[in-house]
Amino acid sequence: MVNAMPGKDRGYRLRWVDVFTDRALAGNPLAVVLQADGLSTTQMQAIARETNLSETTFVLPPEKREHAAKVRIFTPHVELPFAGHPTVGTGWVLLDEGLVSPDATGFTLEEGVGPIPVRVDRSGGAMVLWMTHPTVKFGETIEQRDEMAAALGLSAADLQPDVPIQIVSTGVPFVYVALKDTAAVDRAVSSGEALTRLLDHHGLLPVFLFAAIGGKRCYSRMFGPHSTTQIVEDPATGSASGPLGAFAVRYGLIPRAPQVSIVSEQGTKMGRQSFIQIQLAYSADAEIPERIEVGGSVVPVMTAELSVKN
């Protein structure tokens, strides 16, 4: 129960789903509050603290008639302009609730970074929703390799040689750290104090660490206790997975081709195994992909009514 201010109670339909998984109680959980236009920003933030999930979304009427909905995304501590599992999970809920035609092959969600196209793929056994990322941007490199390894509880020998530690973004920036193998990824520790000391001058961005494990697969984790999200570890980070694909191809960890398909396994160490699909499209001489899509399946977990005093 969230009591934002005195007045009459109003009920909001809430859907709880698991994203980037084909089974309940795995993947990354998401709460979706429907018809949320009666809620203030303060109330939305309070509800996100109440669910205490990495993200909670609020579905609002779109600003443009041709779009499906406007979506606001909150962690327990801050609003985000863009995020992956909230986009995929909210898109699935809109389809399941009949707010988007069940036969739709695609639709557009309005988020803080702008319109985000969502493609619906029903060709396999489970429906997969694909979100299109904004253009990838490669930012500054972080030269303190020994310090980064130590901040993650590792040694410099665990880092993938000849691959920089770099900030990359398609709307939300992350620091990418390539490790040699899955054992190093699993040994890493999420220490807010150590990462704050190292990244204080780089914007306190969340850290995405991974190993390329062959067969166009990555094994990944995301740490953010030092960032504005205050998420110690995230089980599936769609907003980081698009840049992950572009980063892995740029530095030769995944072979480049006109069309590249990658699967990133995340959340396994924390008991929330997730599988995030990444598709990249490259033109002949381009250094960055002309299209980045991230997709996955969604499983419903529960439906509830959220009571808020308006």
Residue 213 tokens read as 């494990």
Q: What is the dihedral of CA 192, 136, 278, 68, to 10 degrees?
A: 100
Q: Which of 55, 110, 111, 233 is catalytic?
A: 55
Residue that is written with structure tokens 């390799």 in the block: 145
In angstroms, the CA 139 to CA 128 distance is 31
Contact 70, 108 (CB under 8 A): no
DSSP classification of residue 153: T
55 is catalytic: yes
234: left (phi over 0), alpha (psi -120 to 50) or beta: beta
Residue 139 tokens read as 């930012």
Residue 302 CA, chain-centre distance (Å), reads: 21
Show which residues are catalytic: 55
